[in-house]
Chain A
């Protein structure tokens, strides 16, 4: 879904190429669990490998599970590589050394980039801007406006409340991106131009935070770009991450870019990540918006806060007040709230059993709904603890549990037992095998899971 899970699925050669960019390294380090971050930083200065026993001794005994998660993550991302058998001599070993102990070291490329980052920081190259550029520089309000317009336009198109995908109003190179194709390849929308509808993952997408939404779309975008123009994956990803590394209102010159980077820029402008503008001398520039900065971030809660202002208050009587005038945000709330009144700046609704179960039926999860409510909580609501009243949260979980009361197993029904003894022995045998589901003595019937059928058949035959 985000960058990390994307990288996990890539082959070693591709990951190796990606890690040679400082931006990728930074984004990866920011994205891994906190314990894994500490392990990486402990190893960044070491030239020799570290024995597994040494790493295992770092966490407290109570943190076993977090340790296992961290190690799995580091392994899957190929941040930790095994030291080959021949070079075991130069390993920071446990005392006393154990035989055949595995040893790890950081991915050499990552280590190189991180060491560089420790020395000089990963700040974007600052540049001196000419007067004409400075004068044409868009204000932060303009940037914000552009980001909101493009991104919300995209979301409301996805949701179906506007018939047309957003267009790029400002000047600059024309984007080649086909939004409909992008949404379909991200499996958010299905159907053709006449009749488009949200998929289950599309519904979940509407409730995600901006960071995860961005990455989900960009992953689809990267795949599209690879299929269409055969663009080098590594260059696309590191370019995207580099954008995230720029400070707000640090313009990028399009003139100094390669053709494929310029195309990416145009597409990103359409998504609201960049705002293209021209300086007095006709040179093309682009300014990253806060959406672009979210890219390089870790999606942490605090970074999220800056991306969007909270507006939702949930009360213990299941009533919800949302201070918003955005039609998009109202449309999202309509997914799981019964709307009662809409005022110019306020949406009032109730979380009812029907509205929540309707949302669950579309493939949403009660936890997702709750996270959404918490994430967009109004600053006033944030002062309470818990942010969403406990009774509301529990009730939503219960509603979900109700929808899952029925469970189906593929089963085999055995009946017409000639002898009650055989029936009884068969029931015992089914229980022994752990496949017993149901039995009924008067009618001498027995149901067991279908996967145990061969053994059951054997058994009943041998009894008769």
Chain B
């Protein structure tokens, strides 16, 4: 029991936001740049590799889309009814995911210009993990006492951080930390992501922005395939300097220095008379 305690469930968040397609495909396709289709292809290769490694391994894939998050794939073992699993098992994993994405792209989006819903997708994935793993706080504690680790959460994103989502994203990260979920994050786009860096740092996962995105699959296989138990045996690259900068609560600007409420620790970029979060009056100034 002790040796087999790591979880066999991996929850994956894949970014499928339209800006990713535009941004990725405007670049020439070579080692340095990865087309959106290439990104999907390589991510699916990684998912296949994960399923290949053990018959107990299970997968849940969600997409991070504009303002929404959809379920792309669920391993048959996680489904409730048999009828559903027959319907879903017709295609290979890759074809199924691509078909689902096409469906989603064709849906009339209520908010086409919306930013990728990273925070929403994270919350959804955490809710899903909570439902799968234990279901209640007591059950989770019991599993933890038995040495069972909760599922892993891997995020593959390529868009820049959206400062508006700072608070919900950080809340989701802290929730994951409390659950004991290890968050692996991979930034396939050209910009570093402070949020994803912090997510991996806080929850004990790995963050990576590949210097050669064209070889994404090799990075994924090397860094993210091992479960938490096997990781104890392998060397990992030292974490790079992590960008801990916060965003202010009033204008959502990323700041290096600001004002912090002495009661609730809310962050502001300018001196305010009253904390907008907890209502404390600062009459000293």
Contacts and interface: CB of A to CB of B under 8 A. Distances in A.
A282 B77 CA distance: 33
B273 interface: no
A296 B55 contact: yes
B92 A45 contact: no
Contacts of A38: 225-226, 230, 234
B48 A117 contact: yes
Given A45-B218, A59-B234, A118 B48 contact: yes
A383 B142 contact: yes
Given A59-B233, A121-B92, A247-B89, A300 B54 contact: yes
Given A35-B233, A121-B48, A44 B221 contact: yes
A387 interface: yes
A342 interface: no
A303 B55 contact: yes
Interface residues of B, number: 35
Contact of A41 (B1, B53, B93, B146): B53
8 closest A-B pairs by beta carbon, nearest first, are A63-B233, A297-B55, A302-B56, A301-B4, A118-B45, A34-B230, A121-B48, A121-B92
Interface of B: 1, 4, 8, 45, 48-49, 51-56, 76, 89-90, 92-94, 142, 145-147, 217-218, 221-222, 225-227, 229-230, 232-235
Contacts of A296: 55
26 contacts: A29-B52, A30-B53, A30-B54, A34-B233, A35-B230, A38-B230, A41-B49, A41-B225, A42-B218, A42-B221, A58-B234, A62-B233, A67-B233, A114-B52, A117-B49, A120-B94, A121-B92, A121-B93, A126-B90, A298-B56, A300-B4, A300-B54, A302-B4, A303-B56, A385-B146, A387-B1
A319 B150 CA distance: 34
A42 B222 contact: yes
A137 to B, nearest CB: 11
B53 A121 contact: no
Nearest to B226: A38
A58 B45 contact: no
Contacts of A385: 145-147
Interface of A: 26, 29-30, 34-35, 37-38, 41-42, 44-45, 57-60, 62-63, 66-67, 114, 117-123, 126, 247, 293, 296-298, 300-303, 374, 382-383, 385, 387
B233 A60 contact: yes
Nearest to A296: B55
Contacts of A382: 146
Contact of B49 (A30, A118, A298): A118
Contact of B235 (A37, A57, A119, A301): A57
Contact of B53 (A37, A120, A301): A37
B234 A63 contact: yes
Contacts of A59: 233-235
Given A62-B233, A293-B55, A298-B54, 20 more contacts: A29-B53, A30-B54, A34-B226, A37-B53, A41-B53, A42-B221, A44-B49, A44-B221, A45-B218, A59-B235, A117-B48, A119-B48, A120-B94, A121-B48, A121-B93, A123-B89, A247-B89, A296-B55, A297-B56, A303-B56
Given A42-B221, A45-B221, A385-B145, A30 B55 contact: yes
Mostly, the A contact residues are helix
Contacts of A297: 55-56
A37 B6 CA distance: 15
Contacts of B225: 38, 41
A121 B89 CA distance: 12
A66 B233 contact: yes
Nearest to A386: B1
Contacts of A123: 89, 92-93
Nearest to B229: A34
Nearest to B41: A119
Contact of A374 (B1, B233, B235): B1
Contacts of A119: 45, 48, 94
Given A300-B54, A383-B142, A35 B234 contact: yes
A121 B4 contact: no
Contacts of B233: 34-35, 59-60, 62-63, 66-67
B93 to A, nearest CB: 5
A247 B79 CA distance: 15
A289 to B, nearest CB: 15
Nearest to B77: A306
A5 B164 CA distance: 56
Contacts of B94: 119-121
A107 B218 CA distance: 18
B55 A126 contact: no
Q: Which of A118, A247, A297, A298 has the most CB of B within 10 A?
A: A118
A165 B230 CA distance: 44
A67 B235 CA distance: 12
Nearest to B51: A121
Contacts of A44: 49, 221
A120 B92 contact: yes
Contact of B1 (A60, A67, A120, A301): A301
A45 B55 CA distance: 22
A351 to B, nearest CB: 20
Contacts of A63: 232-234
Contact of A45 (B48, B89, B142, B217): B217
A208 B222 CA distance: 35
Nearest to A123: B92
B237 to A, nearest CB: 12
B23 to A, nearest CB: 26
A301 B147 CA distance: 14
A247 B233 CA distance: 33
A120 B47 CA distance: 10
Nearest to A25: B52
Contacts of A298: 54-56
Nearest to B218: A45
A302 B89 contact: no
A308 to B, nearest CB: 15
Contacts of A30: 52-55
Contacts of B89: 123, 126, 247
Contacts of B234: 35, 38, 58-60, 63
Contacts of A387: 1
Contacts of B51: 121
Contacts of B235: 57-60
Contacts of A67: 233
Q: Which of A62, A67, A297, A302 has the most CB of B within 10 A?
A: A302
A58 B221 CA distance: 13
Nearest to A42: B222
Contacts of B90: 126
